[in-house]
Amino acid sequence: MAHHHAPSLDDTKTTLDGLGRKVFMISGLVGVIGLAVTVVLGLGEGDDLRHFSFSYLVNFAFFLSISIGALIFVPLQFVTKASWSIVVRRMAEVMASVMPVMLVLAVPVLLLSGRIYGWADPAVAGSHGLAHKAAFLSGGWFTARWIIYMVLWTVFSWYFWRKSLKQDDSGDLALTRKMENMSGFALVVCALSVAVAAFDLLMSIDHLWFSTMFGVYYWSGGFVSFFAVLTLVTMGLQNTGRLTRIISPEHFHDYGKLMFAFTFFWGYIAFSQYMLYWYANIPEETGWYLLRSQNGWGWLGLATVFATFVLPFCGLISRYAKRNRKMLAFWAFWLIVAQWINLYWVVMPEFSDSFVFSPMDVTGFLGVGGIWFAAVTRLAMGHSLVPTRDPRLENSLRFENA
């Protein structure tokens, strides 16, 4: 920009300071109380925690998908040498770096896997449908895989986060080079492990069903949620006087574009998966959709199509909507709810043939979400909310959409 000054980091507040402790305490408290209430409600069902297991899985999978979105987003910025995103990258770094906490949150899923997963049922052991999958879908190996995923994701998310923090102190350009060199490898490893993790976490609930697209289906939904959360977090921070001016309508415009693009991408993936099975009409493939198109689940599925794809597609298509703060906030909030409903529709029909909804789904959301947000806040405390000495920071500050 030749004709007016680009904002600088001195124009705004870039640390959490007192706010961090407050948000950490409140969301941590919401998380602990939420989880406690969910367990009590779950025990109250008197079904040996079966309903609780499925309900918890929805919320765990949802918040994990947001962190996975961040996990992919960060190396993506390095592999493309993007400059627009420098001012928002630190927030993504901490959202990805809560993986160790996600491993702790995965423990209930691992402990209760016998109530969730079809392959864990002793009655199906040795059955023809499981014969070739039994070696892979077994309790011990399943748990081991989750530890491997979480270690991998922690290593890669922390690699970028710690290097980025180190650059805040030293301003060393070699760190950027190192992160760029690592980014391609990180993307390949994370993408593959996320795909297999999605098979494990959600697809294997029905041990007979398979879809090679399922990993992308889970990831792309999470990517939408991640951008939506990033949008709302940025707005929230700006409302407290942080990151104002340096994150401009130009950056929000990009949030909007990414939400729009991946809303469409998700719709494309989800439909491709559906249409092939609908058209081929082979029992072991269509069974999964049949279960989800009856007894109330069909209506929820249809609502999902509109909520996650049709309506946000129309709502976010115009440039005006992407640059209007209130409209963007509305659609970000909407997409978070919609993606959650989609995961609910993926998981819950396996628990009950006909539609169910319980308060435990909401308290579980607050529980897992509270812990997740507290962990993110904790990691963001004590450091700048933007990479202060990234070599491309200037470009990001003066970024404008062409």
User: Which positions lie near other proteins, rule CB under 8 A?
Assistant: 1-4, 271, 274-275, 278-279, 281, 318-319, 400, 402
* C-beta of residue 180 within 8 angstroms of C-beta of residue 79: yes
Instruction: Give me the residue label for tokens 């006087």.
Output: 241
The residue among 281 and 354 lying less far from other proteins, judged by its C-beta, is 281
In this structure, the number of other CB atoms found within 10 A of the CB of residue 279 comes to 9
Nearest to 90 by CA among 233, 188, 225: 233
Secondary structure class of 292 (helix, strand, coil) = coil
Tell me how far apart the alpha carbons of residues 205 and 113 are, in angstroms, rounded to a whole number.
9
Least gap, CB of 117 to other proteins (angstroms)? 29
The radius of gyration of the chain's CA atoms, rounded to the nearest angstrom, is 21
Least gap, CB of 271 to other proteins (angstroms)? 6
The residue among 159 and 277 lying less far from other proteins, judged by its C-beta, is 277
Tell me how far apart the alpha carbons of residues 180 and 76 are, in angstroms, rounded to a whole number.
9
Least gap, CB of 249 to other proteins (angstroms)? 13
Which tokens is 384 given?
């700048």
The residue among 111 and 275 lying less far from other proteins, judged by its C-beta, is 275
The residue among 38 and 396 lying less far from other proteins, judged by its C-beta, is 396
* C-beta of residue 393 within 8 angstroms of C-beta of residue 87: yes
List, in sequence order, the alpha helices (H) in 281-383: 283-291, 297-304, 311-316, 319-323, 325-347, 359-380
The residue among 141 and 271 lying less far from other proteins, judged by its C-beta, is 271
Least gap, CB of 310 to other proteins (angstroms)? 12
Least gap, CB of 278 to other proteins (angstroms)? 5
Tell me how far apart the alpha carbons of residues 92 and 251 are, in angstroms, rounded to a whole number.
14
Least gap, CB of 270 to other proteins (angstroms)? 12
Distance of CA 143 to the CA centre of its chain: 21
* C-beta of residue 305 within 8 angstroms of C-beta of residue 289: no
The residue among 2 and 123 lying less far from other proteins, judged by its C-beta, is 2
Least gap, CB of 295 to other proteins (angstroms)? 21
The residue among 32 and 305 lying less far from other proteins, judged by its C-beta, is 305
